[in-house]
Chains A and B, each alone.
Chain A
Amino acid sequence: MAVTAGPSRRTVEFVFAAALIAVAGAVFVLSADYPAESAAFPRVLAVLLALCAVLVAARQLRHRDEAGAQPFFLHLPRFLITLVALVAYVVAIDVTGYLLPSFALAVALPFVLGYRRLALTVPLAVGTLVLIVLVFNVALERPMPPDVLMHLWESVR
């Protein structure tokens, strides 16, 4: 249980506030290279952001309440599976094009997360993709990420 629960809400609050402060710091440093009138606005914002983040963190230190001890994730393993699946999806689109990874995602993600009725997911995935191709590619002539399937289709034609 302790493994699946993941970090507490308070921990994430701290990490995120720290990240905001880091971003604010980076903005402040990077702005140094810009002419004064271009740097002024981002710098003011960076200070404001850092200030808020410090306040958020300080509040967490002061109020050690019940809510902060709750786990941040509803279900960490499922979150991680989804995250990995989505990142893999985008990388796969970059490599093989849109259609194949999309089909894989629409069928595999519910499957891994416990929904095993392929009789619903497979036709649904195919139907959705046909609809998308019809609207985006055929009707509106929007190009899709170049797909290996499209090359096959071209050569068949």
Chain B
Amino acid sequence: MKRIFRTGLMGMAAAIALSGSAFAADYPTKPIEMIVAFAPGGGTDVAARSIASFMEKHLGDGARIAVINKPGAGGEIGWTAVAQAKPDGYTIGFINVPAINALVVEGKAKFKMDDFQPIANLVYDPGVLVVGKNSPFKSVKDLVEAAKEKPGTIAVGTSGAVGSSEHITILNFERLAGIKLTHAPFGGTAPVRQAVLGGHIPAATMNLSEALQLAREGEIRVLGVMSEERSEYLKDAPTFREQGYDVVAGSSRGIAAPKGIPAEIVAKLEAAVDKALKDPEYLEAAKKAEIPLHYLASADYKAFLDKSTADLEATWKVSPWR
């Protein structure tokens, strides 16, 4: 009985796969839904809507992509929707690393990273540690020494909540430098930037693109960039590695589909993203806006996702953030 059931299931899977490739040839025949796990107007939403119109152009044949916001629970609602969608190529979504991996590692999410078929990564924005312009800290070392002197007295603001990716980064930094800081979650990027500028908080983490203009104007000081190499956009800001702390972190945005979508459709979408990112019109706007574009094709993106998950699992074992 069990065996019959299983063969039946396999047959069904094969049938689905076959029908999949049958219509993959003239894909897309109806509007593609692109799920964004954040509210309209947020960074991810604007990025999604911008790239969607260029992907439509490069998918050709009057393809339509409808951006659908399913915000809530720090992205979990939207990502669950992507993971559980029918793998027919008509539902894709934006996923954000490392926030999505963190949910999986905590074991809280209803999905696993394997439930996604990565399509392409678009943006990688490294994290930075910043202080106000009147701060006594001139380098990461200054801050580490001050924290060693009086453990736990230096508050570091983040835009997230407890368990957010920035919080995890702070925990990593604490472990690597052997210090104790106090995490102050502001719940949004606007308030934390305002607090740094007004000198209401000794230090804060954010993404490089959010600190760029203020740093160039000298309103805030970037103590360290959490990337392997210095950023092209801010050449005089040192990395954490240069200063002897191996903190590499940042957030990335990419497109994924539910697992099991036909390989032809993955290839089509991947090509559309690639072409959209190379579209001169898009490229020029992105360059002007200094969006840290970082294209990864499906296979590379998968490797990147796996590495992020593995890193977070290691952190979780040493210093659980929740």
Contacts and interface: CB of A to CB of B under 8 A. Distances in A.
A57 B33 CA distance: 53
B180 to A, nearest CB: 19
Interface string B20-37: 000000000010010000
A93 B30 CA distance: 23
A35 to B, nearest CB: 11
B66 interface: yes
Contacts, number: 6
A107 to B, nearest CB: 30
B71 to A, nearest CB: 13
Contacts of A154: 30
Contacts of B68: 143
B30 A141 contact: no
Nearest to A141: B66
Nearest to A143: B68
B69 to A, nearest CB: 9
B201 interface: no
B30 A143 contact: no
A154 B33 CA distance: 15
A143 B66 CA distance: 9
A154 B64 CA distance: 14
A105 to B, nearest CB: 25
B67 interface: yes
A154 B30 CA distance: 8
Nearest to B70: A143
A58 B67 CA distance: 55
A141 B66 CA distance: 7
Contacts of B33: 143
A153 B66 CA distance: 17
A47 to B, nearest CB: 27
Interface string A121-157: 0000000000000000000010100000000001000
A143 B30 CA distance: 15
B220 to A, nearest CB: 30
A34 B66 CA distance: 41
B39 to A, nearest CB: 13
Contacts of A143: 33, 66, 68
Across the A-B interface, give the 6 residue pairs with the lowest CB-CB distance, nearest first: A141-B66, A143-B68, A154-B30, A143-B66, A141-B67, A143-B33
Interface of A: 141, 143, 154
6 contacts: A141-B66, A141-B67, A143-B33, A143-B66, A143-B68, A154-B30
